[in-house]
Structure 1
Amino acid sequence: MNLILDPPTKYVSDSKPEEDPFNLIACNPSLVKLSIIRLKGYFQDPFWDAVSKLQSLTTLHLQFVNIVPNDTFWTVCRNLETLHLVGTVFLGDHIVIPDQSFPRMRSLSISNVDNLDMMKQVKFLRQCGNMEELTWRGRCSFQALQEFTQDLVQGAWPKLESFDPGFNIPHPLLAQIFGGMRRITKLFLTRTTIKPSTFQYLRPHLDSLVVLDHRGSTGPSSDMLREIMCSCPNLEELRSGSIIANDVLQDEPWVCTNLKIIQVCFLFDKSRSNADTHRTIFKRISGLTQLERLQVGGWSSGPNIPFQESLDLRLESGLGELANLKHIKCLDFFHTVQMFGEEDVRWIISNWRKLEETLGCVHPNPKERDILVSLFKERGIKAV
């Protein structure tokens, strides 16, 4: 059972008796998941004593709350498999991480936790030796990151396979992290650039990658992205940046046929004809038969930049190659210049029966756009 406590403006004195967290917890002794969001005033010794009595509790999510991390709080954590601390404030002048292990902890998220410095966070991480998933965000000091990396290389977390750091990692440390992880299935590098010298340490993990998210930073080069798409048979989610279209299309086939989400902006040379390249890309995408979300949006370039953004999503450019993609739920082409016609929209509606929304401008002319958007909305498809 999952209990979510999220009345943003309520305090204890304002709550009805049946809404008091103590009563809610007492009435649900078999709770497995407990989420506490934006509540105030409940999180001292008596509260953690009540939570500690939940024998089945495996997941605790604390978001934008103030807590007093007493001994009972850490006892609660000792029995958890999943702990998410998001925007949490630790109250107290001298926060102490107890010298104990947290053997059941599998998934840990520490995001912008106040009054718990990074070195103490590293100490806590050390005590979660069976950790499999780590999301770690905040102002990370180089010393803390260096010690974390050294611990990882020395085998502190042999089961860690999902890593989501919300800060930039220097290339030498990133290479050591890749080399120190025995297996990587999920990798989120939204603040860190992968250079060719670092990419070689990621290569041994390409066969096991399921999720690769590289938005928000300089993405991998065209050569790296081509290698990823040709070497990751288990990849289900790929989020990257802008890629020069011709660089990605070489003779090697894309083996990532399990992809459900792809976010790549293909860039085309304005000085040459791109008709064949468009159709070839559509043919490659047509092999991704499990695809649910197709995102080809990019950024708006000025007239002096020698590339045009992303795919031309029209039948005359090869859109018809995607008729076998029967699971598409979202088509995203934000920040691209599209010139849809009625025949293109009707084709999309007829062939992609699971489509729920389109994101982007379907036509620069307002009158044409209104007509096309109305066609989508008639079928219950959200068009933005």
Structure 2
Amino acid sequence: MDLPEIRHHLAQYLDNSSLAAAAVVCKSWNTTFTPILYSCIGWSKSQSSINPSRRVVQARANDVRILRFTTNGSKVFPFEALTRLEELRFTLPNEDCKDMRSFLYLVNHNPLLRSVDLSLCDSRGIQKTMMEAISRCQKLRKLHLTVYSLGSETAEYLFNICVRLQEMSIDIGDNIRIDSMDKWTEFSEIRKLHLKYTPLNWSRQPSHNQLDIVRKCPRLTSLLLAIDTTNYEIQDIYNILSVAGPQLKELSLSTQLDQRLSDNHYAQTLITCTSLTSLTLHQANVGPAVLQSLHPRLSSLTVLHIKQCTGFSSSMAQEIMMSCPLLTSLTLTMLEARDVFGIRQDEEFFKESDNRAKENHPPKW
């Protein structure tokens, strides 16, 4: 590894302040670090004090690969200078036409775009126009969409894009309004799929197409599924997850504490997940049956998050900690730290510290 490669390798572990300091050390370090320093820029009205100046963006435009933009109808940002973007994160909180035109300009003039993260307002016309533009990004492989609901025309553009995506994430507040997904046989390229339902109007009863989307992704290795399970038959949920399970390395399930789903249902699903290294269960019923189903996988788990789940005990937590030698990240809510680590309070030594802890309301794990 020569010196430029070493400097480039070091840059991956430095924050912006360190990069800037290193860039002024000497000419060679400046040549390596300055492009990295400007490879990712952000622009937000709420953080105007740290936004790069228009002059700087224009001067370093060829180095910018990632743009994180929270729109405000700004006329200051030099969109026309950026033509080499690979990742675009764009928030459109309202129906400002200037903001939409800015997004369309960036999409149309950056043919290297591989990743788009878009937060949309609920205007059907704007949704359709912007999704139509995204559909023309031939190199696009990652799409993260945050929206309240999707109209049928917008949804059709979305699923046409899915045919070539490798990663897709949808955070939706109401539903995807499309009568049928029969037009699309499968999304064979998708390996990572995140479907999150965040209800903004509890009076509605959405009819999601989430399980249909999962069914059409036969090669998933990562699945995050946060759904309103009351809209589905339990067997439908199990059937789809059992098919996807054997190849999944990462699984995250959130089922809103649906009482129909016992720990046995989760156990049946997890038994099929023979390759798991990361597991998250949120608002689920997690009992001894789940732990039993995980036994063959505990030695290979590196990430385990049990959040706001019922039925999980301190003895289960202790068994997990003793059986997961590769674990690097652990979250166990609804249990206190002493329960997780199995600390007993029988000795006089602990009484005083325990009283202080109770007064200070120790945080939950």
Does 2:103 match 1:129? no
Does 2:60 match 1:76? yes
- Given candidates 139, 157, 162, the residue that maps to 2:137 is 157
CA distance in 2, matches of 1:262, 1:376: 31
Residues 91-102 of structure 1 correspond to what in structure 2 (within 5 A)? 97-98=79-80, 102=83
Question: Which residue identity is paired with 2:130?
Answer: F
| CA apart distance, 1:73 | 2.8
Question: Which residue identity is paired with 2:223?
Answer: E
- Residue 264 of structure 1 corresponds to 253
| CA apart distance, 1:313 | 2.6
Does 2:24 match 1:23? yes
CA distance in 1, matches of 2:121, 2:287: 41
CA distance in 2, matches of 1:118, 1:221: 29
| CA apart distance, 1:376 | 8.5
CA contact (8 A) 1:207 1:231 kept: yes
- Given candidates 330, 337, 350, the residue that maps to 2:310 is 337
- Given candidates 9, 34, 37, the residue that maps to 2:36 is 34
- Residue 232 of structure 1 corresponds to 218
- Residue 282 of structure 1 corresponds to 267
My pick for the range that moved more, 121-130 or 180-189, is: 180-189
| Structure 1: runs of 5+ lacking an equivalent | 8-17, 36-50, 52-58, 299-309, 363-368
| CA apart distance, 1:196 | 7.0
Question: Which residue identity is paired with 1:292?
Answer: T
Question: Which residue identity is paired with 2:247?
Answer: N
Does 2:130 match 1:148? yes
- Residue 208 of structure 1 corresponds to 189
| CA apart distance, 1:134 | 0.7
| CA apart distance, 1:181 | 5.0
Question: Which residue identity is paired with 2:302?
Answer: K
| CA apart distance, 1:113 | 10
Residues 184-333 of structure 1 correspond to what in structure 2 (within 5 A)? 184-195=165-176, 197=178, 200=181, 203-218=184-199, 224-225=210-211, 228=214, 231-243=217-229, 245-250=234-239, 253-266=242-255, 278-298=263-283, 310-314=284-288, 317-325=289-297, 326-333=299-306
Cα displacement string for residues 35-80 of structure 1 (whole angstroms, at most 9, x for unaligned residues): 5xxxxxxxxxxxxxxx7xxxxxxx323364323334x734633454
Question: Which residue identity is paired with 2:112?
Answer: N
CA contact (8 A) 1:229 1:256 kept: no
Question: Which residue identity is paired with 1:373?
Answer: V
CA distance in 1, matches of 2:212, 2:131: 29
CA contact (8 A) 2:104 2:133 kept: no
Cα displacement string for residues 107-149 of structure 1 (whole angstroms, at most 9, x for unaligned residues): 2223479997221221121111231211123658655433223
Tell me the TM-score normalized by structure 2.
Answer: 0.68
Does 2:51 match 1:66? yes
Does 2:347 match 1:375? no
Secondary structure in 2 aligned to 1:148?
helix
Question: Which residue identity is paired with 2:16?
Answer: L
CA distance in 2, matches of 1:197, 1:212: 19
- Residue 41 of structure 1 corresponds to none
My pick for the range that moved more, 21-30 or 253-262, is: 21-30
| CA apart distance, 1:236 | 1.6
CA contact (8 A) 1:158 1:181 kept: no
CA distance in 2, matches of 1:269, 1:192: 19
What is the aligned-residue RMSD (CA, Å)? 4.3
CA contact (8 A) 1:83 1:108 kept: yes
Change beyond 3 A, Cα 1:251–1:143: closer
- Residue 352 of structure 2 corresponds to none
CA contact (8 A) 2:186 2:216 kept: no
CA contact (8 A) 1:107 1:131 kept: yes
CA distance in 2, matches of 1:201, 1:78: 43
- How many residues are matched? 317
Bigger fraction of residues in helix: 2
Cα displacement string for residues 261-282 of structure 1 (whole angstroms, at most 9, x for unaligned residues): 3221347775x8x7xx633531
- Residue 4 of structure 1 corresponds to 15
| CA apart distance, 1:183 | 1.0
